[in-house]
Amino acid sequence: MKPVGSMRARTMLLVLASASAGWLAHRKFGSDARLPQGADVLADVLSRIESQYVEEVELDDIYGSLADDLVRQLGDPYSRFITESDWEEQRIGVEGDYGGVGLEVVDQDGHITVVAPIPGTPAAKAGVRPGDRIVEVDGESVEGWATDQAVPLLRGKPGTDVRMGVRRMGVESVMAFEITRERVVVPQVPFAALLDGGVGYVPLASFGGSAAAAVRAAVDSLAGEGMRSLVLDLRRNSGGLLEEGLDLTDVFLDKGLEIAEIRGRNSEPEVHRAKTGQAYPDLPVAVLVGRSTASASEIVAGALQDHDRALLVGTRTFGKGLVQSLIPLSGGNVLRLTTARWFTPAGRMIHDQGEGRSERREGAPTILGAWAERPADLSQAPQVTSRGGRTLYGGGGITPDLWTSGDTLTTREAAVVDAVFESAGGEFFPAVHRWAVRYLLDHPGLAPGFAVADEDLEDVHATLAERGLSVSLGEFMEARRFFALRLAGEVAHQAWGDQGRFQRQTAVDAQLEKARELLAQAFSPEELFALAGTPLAEGR
């Protein structure tokens, strides 16, 4: 999904850490630095091509291709040459702050289709809905365009206007919208909820420019509503701005405690510590983690685990312990280069080199659509001791304190789901999205407790069959509970947003339920660890 908007050009550099971006630093190389002999050879070849090749060539394209190939030769998936156009898209995605209309759009059936307007943005206030197809922008037809072509037209300086023509299901004529662009900040915390037992729930989507402040505000609000314990959900958070990760950890640690240490090849180790005292030192906290918990999220999880500040519940994290420098190049291009490793306060290096991947079960999706995992074999894993004397494990990723995989499908259900995704390819999610749009049109006044009927599943199957699905209806229905939950979640999301989908799926979230069950009984962090079977050492 692409967020639609833009942001002013910035000359300052930002510090990043995620599964796809890392530590941003500025490096200045001396003008007298000697180039290796191979660089001279390359320069000679390019000079001859430019001056003597039989046809005129575009050297900028060759330079870009050479730079890209050079970085790929490192064999490092996190190092990359990023063109100016690609960098703008990545920067917006990481920072979550831009000027525009505030839409998430995708290519669907050859149309630029709205997934959802971002709450509170100009598009949301104007009445743009999920499923709307954008067919005109400022009087120019964009039918048949890809999102990459149309998005720049929708971006612009805050305060400027853009006219959109939209086709909506159930409406014959093209609907006209004139929207004034604004500064759009993608919410890092889409919602917060107070669950039974006084347990607060805060999901953090990414570490954008307001992540720490958003979590702090959510915690303060929930505390005002009577919260007595907290779940911080990082299961779908692949990282973002490193400074935000450090600031968020700071919210839960005492001043001066170490958060992470960065070790580069040509520099002294850099230790980051908590700068302010925490506001809720006696608040029991559980952090939900999983295979999509990566980089900046792992910095937070690792520090809170090492200092016995939070109980980690879920499955092993992704395992990205590398740091990248984003180095500005000429022409607006950027070099993302791995330059360091980071370590938890207990000295754990959590980067997964791939040796632990065999422990991930690729064939058994849970009822929520993630991949189930069995606990890793920790017999050979390096061990460290937490601040409170608990045994923690190093190696690939961060091992949770309480391993909870979730409600998995049967072998037959898993086989059917795999077959559907393999056969349907990329058609499954667009079909579900379009079905949910029609469902809401056909069910005005829908209540949150609605049920997905067999005929609804049959309708989705028929749509997929028209697009090449080879799985029969009978087989499809064998995995009914998986597909019904998918449909219900999409309808709830379109009708009531992220919180609506959360409330619809809470009943089958085994990891959240386990954390909530323990937190409802714990009146201190020490009691929480004891209830989980991993008590702190006496006298701590």
Q: Is residue 320 among the annotated active site residues?
A: yes
How far apart are the C-alpha atoms of 402 and 397, rounded to whole Å? 15
Q: Which of 295, 325, 386, 405 is the catalytic position? A: 295
Q: Bridge partners of 80?
A: 336
Distance of alpha carbon 399 from alpha carbon 512, whole angstroms: 17
Active site residue 255: no
d(CA 493, CA 482): 17
Q: Please report how many Cα atoms fall inside a 13 Å half-sphere around the Cα of residue 398, on the Cβ side.
A: 37
Residue 99 CA, chain-centre distance (Å), reads: 21
**166-196: string of b/e by CB count within 10 Å (b at 16+)?**
bbbeeeeeeeebebebbbbbbbbbbbbbbbe
- Kindly tell me the number of DSSP H helices and DSSP E strands found in the chain: 15, 26
One-character DSSP codes across 64-111 = HHHHHHHHHTT--TT-EEE-HHHHHHHHHHHH-EEEE--EEEEEETTE
Structure tokens at 15: 């510090």
CA distances from 78 to 48, 109, 143, 263, 320 (A): 33, 32, 36, 17, 10
Say if strands 140-141 and 161-167 run parallel, antiparallel, or are unpaired: unpaired
Whether 493 and 500 have beta carbons less than 8 Å apart is answered as: yes
Active-site residue (options: 97, 132, 250, 306):
306
At residue 253, the 3 state secondary structure works out as coil
Distance (Å, rounded) from C-alpha 251 to C-alpha 112? 40
Does residue 295 have an active-site annotation?
Answer: yes
Catalytic residue among 79, 229, 297, 320: 320
CA distance 216 to 12: 26
Q: What is the DSSP letter of 315?
A: S
Catalytic residues: 295, 306, 320
